[in-house]
Amino acid sequence: MSSPSVSSSTSWGGPWPALARLIRLPNQTGTYLLLLPTMWGLVLAAREIPPPHLVAIFIGGSFLMRSAGVIMNDLADQSFDQQVTRTKTRPLASGELSRRHAAILLALLLAVAASLLFFLRPIVTWLAPVAVFLAALYPYAKRWLHIPQAMLGIAFGWGTVMAWAAVQGRLDAPVWCLFGATVAWAVAYDTIYAIQDQEDDRRIGIKSAALYFGPAVHQGVGLAFGTMLTFLTVAGWFAQLGWPYYAVLLGVSIFFLLQIGRLRRPITPSHAFEMFRNHVWVGVAILAGLLAGC
């Protein structure tokens, strides 16, 4: 007997609404958090506003790869998602979509993303399979690592490496600083995000930094923030950026201190989600600082 969600999907135009929710189309926060570090890489590598065709390619690539990444995540975590309050209504977890539908869409997204490589330098083509491997590996990190958020950061940071290579045709010291900053940033904001699911994660045995840090979550997040700012400062020093960049980093550090202070007190899942979403503006501010400081 069909579930109500399946019947609704069928009567309102087939699986398309469910496929849109599968790739989180109504919520693009994850795309922005993947895209912004790639923009940092493009700007710092070009030392000016980057070529428009590269901006367009990496905007499209970020959307495609984030969409592919969340499908990989849902395919890997279907049984877990069914047991978590926040995720049990996702299309795969609820049974609204079949794994076949998800796999077909995943293949299409990866194919379109691969087609973008024809417009980039050969070095980026060599780096691209690593990005797919990291995206596929991340969903399993929560089974093995106490801080799986680090694997998310590595996956997101690889986009920054590819962006730098697209401009320079090689990899230099500043890009590895941006990579390190992106990893640390993801550990921080995704730990805040994981606060929403602490009780469910503990019950079903999923690892997360929010659980690992426990009552010291503000210290763990603070350490990640500090690491991020250190890497960004060193990147600016390597690139000999001007004072506006460091002024932005000062403003970002104040915002981080406010979030650390908030984490000292109990917070609700909705508040944790709002704190997470605010990190999009952190990425925008750093991008503006890079443009102003170049």
> 235-279 pLDDT, tens per residue?
999 999 999 999 999 999 999 999 999 999 999 999 999 999 999
Spatial separation of the C-alpha atoms in residues 184 and 150, rounded to whole Å: 7
Segment 27-64, tens digit of pLDDT: 999 999 999 999 999 999 999 999 999 999 999 999 99
pLDDT score recorded for residue 14: 62
User: What is the number of structural domains in the chain?
Assistant: 1
Share of the chain above pLDDT 90, in %: 87
Token output for 236: 């600016």
Q: Which long-range contacts (CB under 8 A, 24 or more apart) does 248-253 make?
A: 248/285, 248/286, 248/288, 248/289, 248/292, 248/293, 249/286, 249/289, 251/285, 252/282, 252/285, 252/286, 253/225, 253/229
pLDDT score recorded for residue 15: 82
In a domain, 10, yes or no: no
Segment 204-231, tens digit of pLDDT: 888 999 999 999 999 999 999 999 999 9
In a domain, 6, yes or no: no
Residue with tokens 């379109």: 112
Angle between helix axes 149-168 and 29-46 (nearest 10 degrees) is 40
Its domain, for residue 98, covers 15-293
In a domain, 158, yes or no: yes
In a domain, 4, yes or no: no
Report helix, strand or coil for 17: helix
Spatial separation of the C-alpha atoms in residues 244 and 48, rounded to whole Å: 14
Specify the pTM.
0.92
Per 3-state DSSP, the chain is made up of helix, strand and coil in percentages (nearest 5) of 80, 0, 20
> Could you tell me how far CA 56 lies from the centroid of its own chain?
19
Q: Which amino acid is at 145?
A: L
Mean per-residue pLDDT over the chain, rounded: 93
User: Which CATH number goes with the domain that contains 159?
Assistant: 1.10.357.140
Residue with tokens 């400062």: 233
In a domain, 273, yes or no: yes
Closest C-alpha to 252, from 214, 279, 276 = 279
**How sure is the predictor about 3, in pLDDT bands with cuts at 50, 70 and 90?**
very low
In a domain, 5, yes or no: no
> Could you tell me how far CA 285 lies from the centroid of its own chain?
17
Supply φ then ψ for residue 178, to 5 degrees.
-65, -40
In Å, the largest CA–CA distance within the chain is 65
